[in-house]
Amino acid sequence: MTTATLTQFPHLTEFEFIDACSELAFRCSRSHKERHDWLSVEVLRRDSIPYLRITKQLTTPNSTSPDTIHIQSSSHEDVERSDIEISSTKGTLDHNTEDAEIEDEDSEILNRTLHTSERSCPIVEYDILLSPVYRVPVLYCSIKDPQFRFPPTMDSLYRYIIPPSFKPQAEQSGVMGGITITDHPVTNSPVFFIHPCQTAAVMEAVSDRKGDMAPFEYLMLWIGAICSCVGLRVPLEVARSMIPNE
């Protein structure tokens, strides 16, 4: 069982971080893969740096039809009512705009492309690492494509990674927006990343429970609050398994 409280909220210790990542990987391993869009979830470690890697298929504008099926989530309302609302699709960096609300409704229909040659398709790789500076999780993401069609550029970022509804929000902060390109801490290759310097403040703002939560709940809250703007959302089924007594 995971520890119930965080010792350094809004920051995470490495122990709590690994605990949270392992819990998410474990829960995903027990979930029904066909009901969500994550291809894999695993805890990795390289050069003594632990990290969580989540992959999903890249949905490009022209990959939505005709070989796409729509899976209508039947559990939407359950999740809405639960106290983990933030970890579902509602959480954003800050307040939802009207547009974002509408987009969110659409995204309840999970797109899943069914290609026979799934392996040659581009995938999005999300790596979650604990920042050694800010002591909060940081999201790095990149598009892996055998044909290298999606280089790590701002153009690829806004065309393929950031959902349209998040564009205005993403462009707001920093020199060139809150999401830019940096070297991955482990591979030292260029990847997209969400600037972590505001994360601790966001975590304090979205939680009224302070440190009174398990590391896994922190991670869910963090993904909901920070990662939707690059298309990473907790599968409803995994989120639902957080609801007590279910």
Partner 1 sequence: MTPPRDVTSRLRQSVWNGSIPLEIRLHKGDCITYDESEPYLVQFPRLSYLGLLIPKLHSFFSRNLIYPDVDPFEAWLSCDNVPLKWHYPLGLLYDLYSGTEPHPGEGRKEDAEQPGLPWRLRVHFSDYPTEQLIKLDAAGKHLHDLYINGVKEADYLRNGTGKTIMSLNKDDSTQLWESVKQHNFSLFNPINHKLLNPQGVNLRHMPIKLYLPHASTENQKEEPTPGSVRVMQALVPPVLSSRSPQTVGTALNTMVPTLFPSRRIPTVAQPVLHGAVLPLTVNVEDLLRTSTYSDGWLHITVSMMS
* Nearer CB in complex with partner 1: 137/235: 137
User: Which helix (H) or strand (E) segment is 38 a member of?
Assistant: strand 38-46
* Nearer CB in complex with partner 1: 78/145: 145
Cis peptide before 244 (omega within 30 of 0): no
Joined tokens for residue 211: 């440190």
Shortest separation between residue 151's beta carbon and partner 1, angstroms? 4
Question: What is the end-to-end Cα distance of the chain in Å, rounded?
Answer: 16
* Nearer CB in complex with partner 1: 187/241: 187
* Nearer CB in complex with partner 1: 61/148: 148
Shortest separation between residue 227's beta carbon and partner 1, angstroms? 19
Q: Which residues bind partner 1 (CB under 8 A)?
A: 44-48, 132-134, 148, 151-154, 174-176, 180-183, 185, 187-190, 195, 197
Residue 179 CA to residue 187 CA, distance in Å, equals 19
In 3-state terms, what secondary structure has residue 58? coil
Shortest separation between residue 207's beta carbon and partner 1, angstroms? 19
Q: What angle do CA 220, 224, 226 make, to 5 degrees?
A: 115
Phi/psi-derived region of residue 180, left when phi > 0, alpha when psi is between -120 and 50, beta in every other case:
beta
Shortest separation between residue 139's beta carbon and partner 1, angstroms? 15
* Nearer CB in complex with partner 1: 105/155: 155
Shortest separation between residue 45's beta carbon and partner 1, angstroms? 7
Shortest separation between residue 25's beta carbon and partner 1, angstroms? 17
List, in sequence order, every residue forming a beta bridge with 68; answer none if it has no partner: 113
- The DSSP-derived string for 214-226 is -HHHHHHHHIIII
- Kindly list the strands in the beta sheet with 49-57, ordered across the sheet, starting from the edge strand earlier in the chain: 38-46, 49-57, 123-130, 137-144, 190-194, 179-183
* Nearer CB in complex with partner 1: 1/175: 175
